[in-house]
Amino acid sequence: MQNIQLRTVIVLTVISSMIQLMHAQVLTRSSSVNQGIENFVHTPVSKDIIYHLQPDIDFEGILEEDRRKGNPIERVAVKVDQNYNLKDGIWSQYGEIMIWQIGFSAPRARSLNFLFSNVVFPEGTEMYVYSKDGKIIHGPVLPELIYDKVYATDIIESTDVVILVKTSVKSSRTLSLNINGVCQGVKKTTDLRAFGDASDCNLDVNCSQGNGWQNERDAVAFVIKNGQDHCSGALINNECQDLRPFFLTAFHCLDANQDQQLSAAEQNLNLYVFRFKYEAGTPTCPGNSSGSQGTWITYSGALFRAANAASDFALIELNGSIINQPNISISGWNRNTTMPTQIVTGIHHPRGDAKKISIDNEALITTNANMWIVERWDAGLVEPGSSGSPLFDSNRRIIGQLNGGNQNIGCNSTTGESFIDNNRYGRFNLSWTGGGTASTRLSNWLGGSNPPLTLNSIRSSWININGSNFICTTNKTFTLTDPIPGKSINWSVSNPTLFATSGGAATSGTGTVATLRASSAGATGSATLTFTLTQSGCDPVTLVQQIWVGKPGLPITSPSGTVPIELGVSAYHTVYLSSAPGAAAFIANWSVTGAISRVGVNIPATYSTHVGDYVGTGNWQVMTSNTCGTNSNFGQYNVTTNCNPCPRVIVNNPVRDVLIVQIPDYVIPISRRKDYQNSSGIFALMNQNGGIVKK
């Protein structure tokens, strides 16, 4: 074969997804099998990825330095300053979809996580961070989840990790990102900081001791501080119970230099990550975490609200909303000054492990004026990483957050009872008044004009779609689940002409149930269902659910098929599904007739590759569906002999400035095959749609 070099400038770009999440959070999915990133981005994904090898880290030396400085917060990772941007990855184009990928490899690390700056994601952009083996996938990260142009990812427990960004050709012109920090997870033979690493004296929240604590445990989160350190904490309710995402943790979790003051830099929480529902699937009770880690919920970034060193509290507010999130709750609290004399309970994430529960049946100790003290846990214990976690009274209300205490030296392996504890918790009632100002006390944020002494835990209200969000010609109900006590409820729909208003169906009403029906068999289109919860003196709480009336809209493809595509005999061409409005899933059924065949016949997919069989006309059809019906789009090929047989061109990937293609011998006339250097011809570099990029 003859190698031909086409020296050209490749214009790099990255497509929009039509799927809009209703919640301001990102999911991290952990599985024992490869989940296939293509199932999430709905398009082919190149396996030719540039992996950037990361420098070796002296983990032991850095941990020893932490001990020498007396750092009270155990690190989970070591940040390495870097400066990667879009030029350091590779791009692939699939119709109007552009995929950008970059890989990282750190063979000596336990895990990898990343800190971003200058993040500008145009509408429709998605980002995923996943392990090379596809067992851990974090995403999608959507534009509305980016605050102040920065983002911190979850920890991916793998030595090889890929970052993928998907956007449209048009949107890619304004897309940007910088990866400023690559954090390598601490890896050593003992004292680890991840799933299964906490002491086997611990009791998982999924043990029997966690029964009845669902509302409180779903408020507790594992906190990753600036990609390196970890603590615990919990969402906490306010007097209006408006689902505002206030989060209580420890002052010392923010105080990096331990000077009992919080600088502006220490109050900058943009690169904090909060993991909810991080639990073990099948724990031993007591014992180590085991089983599937499943799926958990992460939030990136928060705002500082108040803190005080005396009672070691910090109140922050998560970026984004927890409204319409069925797996999250908000803890209640007790600001009474009297010491609890009954059972107290702690829920926490020791050593970065899955969520644990600890129980003490004896009265607390008050030898420290600012602290409640647990002399010894009767079941379970707390460890480094548990700092900031809530202590609950017997009525399941927060009375403090973990400050510290003696290191446990063991436990009863049968009961989980610990031997040495003396764990200190900053008193909630003292934090309420704190230092007397809005930035040093809780009352300004959690109370109002007449705050109660106690407040109960509540779950986040959410809209139960009862199977699907499709509205056909029979009545379908949507239910507001976990309504907030004391609030009035009204609901309405947008695009009311799409809906019937008889036979029990309506377009607005009161109460927790909305009954909807399509106005006719031909009605089709997008709408929103809105529940509004109101209470005098408080801001309204609004929940929105996107719904679809009738059969799907017209599936959109790239190319569109409105103009016949010229195709040679034996030449290949791919049509991509760009948008599937109203479809039950982002897949399609494809079929062809006439002078073309399909490669991969009868495989529902997001794209279809076609080959010209003979001179003539070929037709393709794409069909999407939902529970109300189907819709389809069409296109045509004109198959000609101007490329018969068509040369197969093998392109090396990735491409940077120089593109090397291999021209099969049979394409070159026999008389010229012995004199390649004097061969002449026209070589064209084209995109998937047949457009010429370079000639």
The strand pairing partners of 295, in sequence order, are 29
Q: In the annotation, is 591 catalytic?
A: no
In the sheet with 77-85, reading across from the earlier edge strand, the strands are: 77-85, 176-185, 112-120, 151-152
Cis upstream peptide for 140 (omega within 30°): yes
Alpha helices, H only, 364-484: 428-433, 443-446
* Residue listed under structure tokens 């005098």: 536
CA distance 195 to 290: 8
The candidate with the shortest Cα–Cα distance to 595, out of 617, 576, 611, is 617
In whole angstroms, give the CA distance from residue 268 to residue 113.
19
The single residue of 387, 457, 578, 579 carrying the catalytic annotation is: 387
| Token output for 376 | 């010894």
**DSSP collapsed to 3 states, 434-485:** CCCCCCCCCHHHHCCCCCCCEECCEECCEEECCCCCEECCCCEEEEEECCCC
3-state secondary structure of 188: coil
Cα 214 to the center of its chain, rounded Å: 22
d(CA 239, CA 530): 24
Backbone angles phi, psi at 293, to 5 degrees: -80, -20
Active-site residue, selected from the candidate residues 197, 312, 353, 393: 312
Distance CA 182, CA 209 (A): 38
Do residues 114 and 164 touch, judged by C-beta distance below 8 A?
A: no
81 φ, ψ (degrees, to nearest 5): -65, 130
Residue closest to 163 by CA, chosen among 145, 149, 181: 181
The set of residues, in sequence order, having a beta carbon less than 8 Å from that of 410 and lying 6+ positions away, is 201, 418, 419
312 is catalytic: yes
| DSSP letters spanning 522-557 | T--EEEEEEEEEE-TTS--EEEEEEEEESS--PPEE
Closest-CA residue to 153 (of 27, 303, 14, 13): 27
Phi then psi dihedrals of residue 671, to 5 deg: -65, -20
Chain position carrying tokens 């679809």: 548
End-to-end Cα spacing for the chain: 21
378 is catalytic: no
Please give the C-alpha separations between residue 310 and each of 33, 337, 404, 437, in angstroms, as whole numbers: 48, 16, 13, 14
589 to 175, 358, 468, 603, 623: CA distances (angstroms): 32, 53, 21, 7, 5
Of 655, 687, 695, which Cα lies nearest the Cα of 558?
Answer: 687
* Token pair in block for residue 435: 């230092």
**How many other CB atoms are there within 10 angstroms of residue 530's CB atom?**
16
CB neighbour class for 603 (10 Å; exposed up to 12, middle 13-18, buried from 19): exposed
Contact 33, 132 (CB under 8 A): no
**CA 159 – CA 152 distance, rounded (Å):** 18
Query: What is the C-alpha separation between 687 and 159, in angstroms, rounded?
Result: 34
Q: Which of 252, 348, 573, 610 is catalytic?
A: 252
What is the number of alpha carbons within 13 Å of residue 509 lying toward its C-beta? 16
Active site residue ranges: 252, 312, 387
